[in-house]
């Protein structure tokens, strides 16, 4: 019971809930946009959206999750000085997150057959941040912004 | 189709990496800081240290290590420790930290160091910081903020003492009041060996007080100096230096004629004292013999002491009862070997017996006869301070020319 409580409090303290909730809300807005755009396109072709967009079952939750991840990544980068210190690694991270958000908006508002690939490409930002993190841990550096 | 399935899975996995960073980073938020690993600042320094940015203007002493506790503060923001080193051996610890927080580094400047010295703080990640110590050698005992400068004029060995209240005693006789009381004496560029002995009033509310060695009393710090003309003695308010064992001769036996001649049924008799209580105190420099004796008409408080310089001394205090006796001989102190009465030499009385000179400081003559008989003394006498000098080179109690206070002020170039 003590351990559960410890894990719980650790989890509560480690996560910035404001950033997370704002991110989830914006992600859900983008996901609803996607659903609406799918409907419009399907009506245009006179087909059911499920037939036209095979991956909508993954893309819609992905948009919610990615929206939350984008906002959270911005919070990580800004709140802990990566931007104010003008670290190149932080600036690259921000640029990648921005690019990911643009790609995801594109995926949401202009559904196409390339959805899966585009969504995967937008994940470069998250992989980049995680790679920084792993390298920082491995080299014993106490900063995410390695260069 | 297979790669499509993988892509569908990865799409839900990659965004969660961002949250994984926040959840698994060591120390939570520490992984995301770009701020410094630690910050080094000046900590708590005494009033005589000047500070300019990260430069400390310190003093070093020829006498001992000058320590500046908590002089540098290190704020560490990560769960790591920082290595500390110094180019002049001023830092004893090798590292500080371990957990985030504020740490202090104690500085200890070795004796005689002069010039610039860096205290370097490093971390394997490449972070570094340094504090510059500018060190000036000064003739001052380390750690003391103020000192008393006492200029004495005299000759021969002098046993000086400073009471906790600043009273300055030479061979137990109070001579002056110093502005600073302390246990460190510096004379002729040396720190003197010191002793500590407590003194208390044997009988309360007597003027002047009847000070005798007493375990429950106030401490007096003593040392020996050899005067030749006018010399300067410095007294610092600092803890006593480490005591050294000296071989001190046993306390002297006071062979002297003490008492008064009183009338009796079978003619006049000499009222000699009989010891009642006796105690011995050993200090680092002396052995002190304290005796309370009683005669028929008085009580006598004596303490005599031996010294490592071949001389000895004593302090006598008589408490005569109120009497109407007549007497013809009063001997408050007269050495047994003395043949002639005391000669007046300045403000002291001097006996010469067997090559030993006995110096007695007393308001009344230490020995006198009267014919026709005079009244025996009554009440408390003033204290008699006796110094016995077998070598004959002692020049009497020195004169205190000057006793003033000096402060150590910060220096900066």
The domain limits of chain A are: 2-139
Instruction: Kindly report the average pLDDT of chain A as a whole number.
Output: 82
State the CATH number of the domain containing residue B132: 2.60.40.10
Which among B7, B14, B31 has the least Cβ separation from residue A126? B14
CA distance A65 to B185: 78
**Per-residue confidence band for A50, with pLDDT thresholds at 50, 70 and 90:** confident
Instruction: Please report residues of B whose CB lies closer than 8 A to that of A90.
Output: 34
And the tokens for A119? Answer: 């969504």
User: Within a domain: residue B314?
Assistant: yes
* Among the partner residues A14, A127, A141, nearest to B14 by beta-carbon distance: A127
Position B26 in a domain: no
Q: What was the pLDDT predicted at B34?
A: 59
- The pLDDT of residue B336 is 86
Query: Which range has the worst mean pLDDT, A58-62, A104-108, B132-136, B320-324?
Result: B320-324
Instruction: Provide the 10 A C-beta neighbour count for residue B191.
Output: 19
Residue A53 at interface with chain B, using a CB cutoff of 8 Å: no
If one counts the domains in chain B, the total is 2
| Same domain (yes/no): B328, B266 | yes
Residue B250 lies in a domain: yes
Going from the first residue of chain B to its last (413 residues), give the mean pLDDT of each consecutive group of 10, the final group possibly shorter. Answer: 82 88 64 72 93 93 93 86 92 88 93 93 84 94 93 93 94 93 92 92 91 93 93 92 80 82 86 91 91 92 91 93 86 87 88 89 90 88 92 89 93 80
Question: Quick one: B192 and B321 in the same domain?
Answer: yes
Count CA atoms closer than 13 A to B27's CA, side-chain side: 18
Domain check: are B181 and B39 in the same one?
no
Look up the domain containing B109 and give its range. Answer: 33-137
What is the per-residue pLDDT for A85?
A: 61
**Structural domain ending residue among the three candidates B117, B137, B157:** B137
**Res A13: pLDDT:** 60
What kind and span of H or E run contains A35?
helix A17-45
DSSP B320-353: EPP---EEEEEEEEEETT--SPPEEETTEEEEEE
ipTM: 0.87
Tell me whether residues A13 and B28 touch, CB distance under 8 A. Answer: yes
pLDDT at res. B222:
93
Nearest chain B residue to A61 by CA: give it. Answer: B12
Residues B87 and B174 in one domain: no
Residue B180 phi, psi dihedral angles, 5° rounding: -130, 130
Query: Is B258 a member of any domain?
Result: yes
- Of residues B7, B28, B80, nearest to A142 (C-beta): B80
The answer, yes or no, to whether residue A62 has pLDDT greater than 70, is yes
Q: What is the per-residue pLDDT for A52?
A: 78
C-alpha dihedral sign at B43, B44, B49, B50: positive
Final residue of a structural domain among B137, B166, B189:
B137
């Amino acid at each position: 019971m003590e351990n559960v409580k410890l894990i719980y409090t650790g989890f509560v303290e480690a996560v910035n809930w404001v950033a997370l909730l704002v991110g989830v809300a914006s992600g859900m807005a983008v996901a609803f946009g996607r659903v609406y755009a799918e409907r419009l396109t399907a009506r245009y072709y006179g087909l059911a959206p499920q037939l036209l967009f095979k991956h909508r079952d993954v893309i819609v939750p992905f948009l919610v999750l990615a929206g939350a991840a984008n906002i959270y990544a911005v919070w990580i980068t800004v709140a802990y000085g990566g931007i104010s210190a003008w670290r190149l690694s932080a600036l690259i991270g921000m640029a990648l997150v921005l690019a990911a958000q643009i790609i995801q908006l594109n995926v949401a508002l202009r559904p196409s057959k390339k959805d899966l690939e585009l969504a995967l490409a937008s994940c470069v930002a998250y992989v980049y941040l995680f790679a920084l993190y792993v390298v920082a841990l491995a080299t014993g550096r106490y900063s995410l912004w390695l260069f | 189709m297979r790669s499509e399935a993988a892509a569908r899975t990865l799409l839900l996995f990659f965004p969660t990496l961002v949250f994984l960073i926040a959840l698994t980073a060591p120390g939570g938020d520490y992984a995301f800081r770009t701020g410094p690993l630690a910050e080094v600042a000046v900590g708590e320094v005494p009033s005589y240290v000047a500070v300019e940015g990260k430069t400390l203007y310190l003093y070093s002493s020829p006498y001992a290590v000058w320590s500046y506790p908590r002089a540098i503060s290190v704020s560490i923001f990560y769960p790591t420790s920082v290595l500390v080193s110094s180019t002049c051996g001023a830092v004893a610890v090798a590292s500080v930290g371990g957990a985030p927080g504020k740490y202090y580094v104690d500085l200890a400047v070795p004796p005689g160091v002069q010039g610039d010295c860096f205290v370097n703080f490093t971390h394997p990640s490449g972070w570094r910081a340094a504090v510059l110590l500018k060190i000036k050698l000064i003739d001052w005992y380390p750690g003391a903020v103020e000192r008393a400068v006492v200029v004495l004029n005299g000759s021969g060995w002098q046993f000086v003492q400073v009471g906790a209240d600043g009273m300055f005693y030479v061979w137990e006789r109070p001579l002056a009041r110093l502005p600073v009381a302390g246990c460190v004496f510096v004379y002729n560029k040396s720190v003197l060996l010191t002793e500590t002995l407590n003194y208390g009033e044997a009988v309360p509310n007597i003027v002047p007080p009847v000070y005798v060695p007493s375990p429950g009393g106030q401490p007096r710090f003593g040392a020996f100096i050899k005067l030749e003309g006018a010399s300067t003695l410095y007294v610092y308010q600092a803890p006593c230096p480490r005591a050294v064992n000296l071989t001190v001769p046993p306390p002297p036996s006071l062979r002297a004629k003490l008492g008064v001649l009183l009338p009796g049924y079978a003619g006049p008799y000499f009222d000699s004292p009989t010891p009642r209580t006796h105690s011995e105190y050993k200090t680092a420099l002396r052995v002190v013999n304290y005796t309370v004796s009683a005669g028929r008409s008085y009580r006598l408080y004596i303490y005599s002491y031996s010294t490592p310089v071949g001389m000895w001394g004593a302090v006598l205090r008589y408490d005569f009862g109120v009497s109407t006796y007549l007497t013809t001989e009063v001997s408050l102190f007269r050495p047994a070997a003395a043949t002639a009465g005391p000669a007046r030499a300045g403000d002291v009385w001097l006996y010469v017996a067997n090559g030993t000179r006995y110096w007695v400081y007393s308001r009344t003559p230490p020995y006198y006869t009267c014919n026709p008989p005079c009244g025996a003394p009554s009440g408390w006498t003033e204290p008699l301070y006796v110094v016995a000098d077998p070598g004959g080179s002692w020049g009497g109690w020195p004169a205190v020319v000057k006793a003033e206070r000096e402060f150590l002020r910060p220096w900066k170039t």
